[in-house]
Structure 1
Amino acid sequence: MDLPALPKPITVDLSRAALIVVDMQNDFCAEGGWLHSIGVDLSPLASAIEALETLVPAVRSAEVPIIWLNWGNRPDQANIPPGLARVYDPDGRGEGIGATMANGSKVLTKGSWGAELISALTAAPNDLHVDKYRMSGFWDTALDSILRNLRVDTLFLSGINSDQCVYSTLTDAASLGYDVVLVDGASATTSPQYCHEATLYNTRQCYGFSTTARDLQTAVSAYPDTCKERS
């Protein structure tokens, strides 16, 4: 499959590719979730949510695996180092990972409302789910083993926040030998816009490529049926 990309167009074997969707969870994206409760403006995420609503089904229809990579921490946080507990809570006010929200949900804790996929996006029965416990989805998880069992070597990365968990996962993937493509438009951040722009720049400069959600959706939708069979 030929795909418009930066810094130059690329050719991708979709039978060796996967779409990773990072952290599209209530605590990050929904009103009443963690970030909303501490005053973070969620409006920059709206366009990425809208793009993923159509991109995910299109990619799935091309028989490319969809991997939902989400925070799903242990309730006892036994594997969470103290520094990570201060994420979005630098003053230690008790508003960080594992804190109990007004609705009773514990921030990014497995089984909680906040850790669930947002209502705008729907996982299919054959999609894969991986819980993560760091900014990168490769640390202390089964992600690498799953990808290698699928014989995947090209990763399309999407989700939020593009400059944090998406980028951490992308750089680790590149270091592990995967070809990485950041999907602009289907990734976004609540950080200042220049953080997203810097992420795109660094991805193209040092790690791989970027494409747009629209270009990826167009390309996979046009992919011949005869080429959809995975080896």
Structure 2
Amino acid sequence: MEQRRPHDPNQKATFLPKNEGGLSFPKGTTALLVIDPVNDFLSEGGAAYELTKNTLKLHNMVDHLQKTIAGARAKGIPVLFGPMAYTEDDYADEQLQKRSGINRMMFENKMFLADSWGADFHPDIQPQAEDIVLLPHKSCDVFRSDLPEHLERMGITHLVIAGMAANLCCESTARHAMEDGYDVTMIKDAMGAASIPEYEAAVHLNLPLVSNAVITTEEFLKALEASTPANMVDVREGDTVKGSDNGEIGTVEKVVFTEGGTDGYILVPRGMIFKTDTYIPLDAITKRSGNEVFVNVPKLVVGSMPWKEVPTREDRAAKQGPPAGNVENLYRSRTASVLTNRV
């Protein structure tokens, strides 16, 4: 049976890294999660290989995954492996094949059967003694394993995700991590999927909205190299600005810090991409890699953001909404229906 975290209805929404000083990938609180790097997905002869092979070749995925893992290990970032494994109990007793379309597909194609070659790790992506191998997840969300306990034990706040498949397990886990308050980064060329359309939809549309950045292996490794205060997510004139979808937005012309009634921002001047000057809030910048900085909004929607004028502190206050103590009904005419335990 998969493990579940108890739901706390009184838990406030929070962002775990808010007090960490702005490091892209701070050592001691960053972990790399590698999802389903197994033969059924990655090796010729695997149960799903005929589906995944085109996306694996598209970006030389296995090689990039190796480099991502090696780079993390070299910088002392813990690596967690999140595989799947199914037994007779899962299907005969729990009837997981009735849960969803993907569970049915895995059942019918004998994918990830426990103690099989298919469920074993790809020969070039083997866990080492210092790595953590998680209990198996049974559908798409790796948080439905012992992952939360390990992250809490290690004090992790920044989670980097790579592996298989971009639009299923990687996306589901990213969504859960984001909802639980983690800073989530996806490694785009160290992920694959069952088809190129599925991969492209995940990497360009969905993952940029449920993570802070979708970056390449090279960008991840460059960010790790700056392990000193130079790795602070500062921003300088001349930096290239990218969206969370890795799309290039423009070049920083000016950096303005919060002072008086003005809120901090960077100015990306009008050009071939945007017809008006764009004033991006400083706290939208979440990652630095070399001379690139990433904002946690996709390039595809930057043009629709209210960033056409210099931001003010008054603007920020309006965006924050009313203090919780001043709210009588959450939804104007109604408030939430809360179940309470009765003795």
The bucket for the TM-score relative to the shorter chain is 0.7 to 0.9
Amino acid at match of 2:137: K
Identity fraction in percent: 20
Higher Rg: 2
Partner of 2:107: 97
Partner of 2:53: 42
Partner of 1:24: 37
Q: Structure 1 residue 13 and structure 2 residue 26: aligned?
A: yes
**Secondary structure of 1:15 counterpart:** coil
User: Residues 39-60 of structure 1: CA distance to partner in whole angstroms, max 9, x if unpaired?
Assistant: 4251311411110122211111
Runs of 4+, deviation exceeding 6 Å: none
Q: Provide the TM-score with structure 1 as the length reference.
A: 0.78
Distance 1:86 1:211, change over 3 A: closer
For 2:142 and 2:103, locate their aligned partners in 1 and report how far apart those are by CA, in whole Å. Answer: 19
1:65 to 75, 78, 81: 78
For 2:195 and 2:143, locate their aligned partners in 1 and report how far apart those are by CA, in whole Å. Answer: 23
Question: Would you say the 8 A contact 2:33–2:80 is kept in 1?
Answer: yes
Partner of 1:191: 195
Aligned pairs for 1:130-169 within 5 A = 130=134, 131-139=136-144, 141-169=145-173
Structure with bigger RCO (C-alpha 8 Å, 6+ apart):
1
Gaps of 5+ in 1: 1-8, 91-95, 101-106
C-alpha deviation, 1:86, in angstroms = 4.8
Q: Provide the TM-score with structure 2 as the length reference.
A: 0.54
User: Residues 127-162 of structure 1: CA distance to partner in whole angstroms, max 9, x if unpaired?
Assistant: 0011211111012x1110110101001100001110
Distance 1:80 1:181, change over 3 A: farther
**Secondary structure of 1:68 counterpart:** strand
Amino acid at match of 2:227: Y
RMSD, aligned α-carbons? 2.5
For 1:137 and 1:147, locate their aligned partners in 2 and report how far apart those are by CA, in whole Å. Answer: 12
For 1:98 and 1:145, locate their aligned partners in 2 and report how far apart those are by CA, in whole Å. Answer: 32
Amino acid at match of 2:139: R
Partner of 1:75: 88
Distance 1:55 1:149, change over 3 A: same
